[in-house]
Structure 1
C-alpha cells in the first residue's frame, strides 16, 4: 500500500451552487461531480478516507483524501492515459486507472465501470447481470468480474441516485462508497 506522507495535495472544493437540473439519466455522458467517503479492504489490509470525483466527457479527476481531509493522491484519466500524483510529489503514469492504482496503491480502482455504476447503470461496453429489489430499484449488478451492491439511494435534483454502494472483486477486494454530495450538470 502507498504510505501517505505528511504533505497534502491541494483539493478544490466541490461547487454545489453551480448545479442545475440534470440531463436525462439516459444521457450518454453521465457527467457528474461527487464527494463522499471511501473504505477499501484488500487482502486483509484496509484504508478509509474521502473521495472527490469530477467526471467529464474527456477527463476524470479523482482526489483521495486522508481521514482528516488532506489531499493525498490525485488521479487524472484522459485520452493520454492515467496519472497519479501523491502528496509527496511522486508522479506515476499508466494506460488506465485500474492498472495504475493497482501498481501504486496496491488495490484496483475500477474507474472504467465505476463511472457508470455510481450512477446506478451498467457500463455500455460489456454484458451485465442485474438484480432489482421489490421497488424495482437496482439492488446488485455483476459486470466484468465485479459485483456492485446498492445499499442505499437518495433523490438528487429530481433523479434517484445511489448514495451507498459496495464494489467487490471476489473476496480479495472490497471498495465501499458513501456519496454525500452530488452535482449534476
Structure 2
C-alpha cells in the first residue's frame, strides 16, 4: 500500500480558496417534481450512473477552503475531482469498494490504499475524520444511506430536510428539479470533526 507523505495534506490543498461558501444552509427553493416519495426514492436508488458538479467548501479545526468539484458515479465506482481557484491544487480521487487512488493534476499516483476500508483510512489519515464513504453518494442524492441506522426528517413533500446517520448530520437547504426529479442543490455534511458544504450546479443522469 502506498501512503501519503504525512507532511502533505492533499484534501486541504485541493480546497484552498478565498473563503468558505458563505453562511449556513437555510431552507431555500423547493421545486415540486410531482413524484411521490416512494417513486422518487426508487428512481434514484436505481441510478447506476450519474454526475454532480458544483462547488465545495471544507472546514476543520485546522484548515478551511473552497473549490470546485465533480462527483462521477459509475456503478460501485466513484471519481471525485476537486480543484482550487485557477486549477491550483487539483486532485482526482478514485475509489471502489476495495481501493482508493489519489491522482495529482499531472496524472501521477499520489496515494494508493487497498482494502474494504480504503476510503475511510485515507480520510482518517488526512483529516482525522470518520466519514462513511459508502453512504456519501446516497446523501448527495438526497437519500438515507442503506447500511446503518438513521434519523431522517422530511418535509410535506417527503424530501429530506435533515438526516442524522453514522455520527454525521446532513442538512438540505435547497432542491431543484432535474429530469423531473427534485435533486439537492445546497447541502451540508457536519460532525464534531468538521463540515463540508456542497452547492450542486448541475446534475446529469
Q: TM class, shorter-chain normalised?
A: 0.7 to 0.9
Structure 2 counterpart SS, 1:68: helix
Q: Determine whether 1:92 maps to 2:111.
A: yes
Contact in 1 for aligned 2:161/2:173 (Cα 8 Å): yes
Matches within 5 A, 1:26-45: 26-27=42-43, 28-30=45-47, 31-45=49-63
Structure 2 counterpart SS, 1:124: coil
Higher fraction of strand: 1
CA RMSD of the aligned region, Å? 2.5
Structure 1 counterpart SS, 2:121: helix
Over residues 85-137 of structure 1, what are the superposed CA-to-partner deviations in whole Å (9 max), with x where a residue is unaligned?
Answer: 22363521223223213324665664321100011101111111011234442
Which 5+ residue runs of structure 1 have no aligned equivalent? 6-22
Matches within 5 A, 1:122-141: 122-141=144-163
- Partner residue in 1 for 2:25: none
Give the distance between the partners of 1:32 and 1:152, measured in 2 at CA: 19
**Most deviating of 77-86 and 49-58:** 77-86
Q: Determine whether 1:56 maps to 2:63.
A: no
Higher fraction of helix: 2
- Partner residue in 1 for 2:164: 142
Give the distance between the partners of 1:76 and 1:66, measured in 2 at CA: 18
Would the alpha carbon gap of residues 119 and 130 (structure 1) be closer, same or farther in structure 2, given more than 3 Å must change? same
Which 5+ residue runs of structure 2 have no aligned equivalent? 1-8, 15-38
Counterpart selection for 2:134 from 95, 109, 112: 112
> Normalising to structure 2: TM-score of the pair?
0.71
Count of aligned residue pairs for this structure pair: 166
Give the distance between the partners of 1:104 and 1:85, measured in 2 at CA: 15
Contact in 2 for aligned 1:63/1:71 (Cα 8 Å): no
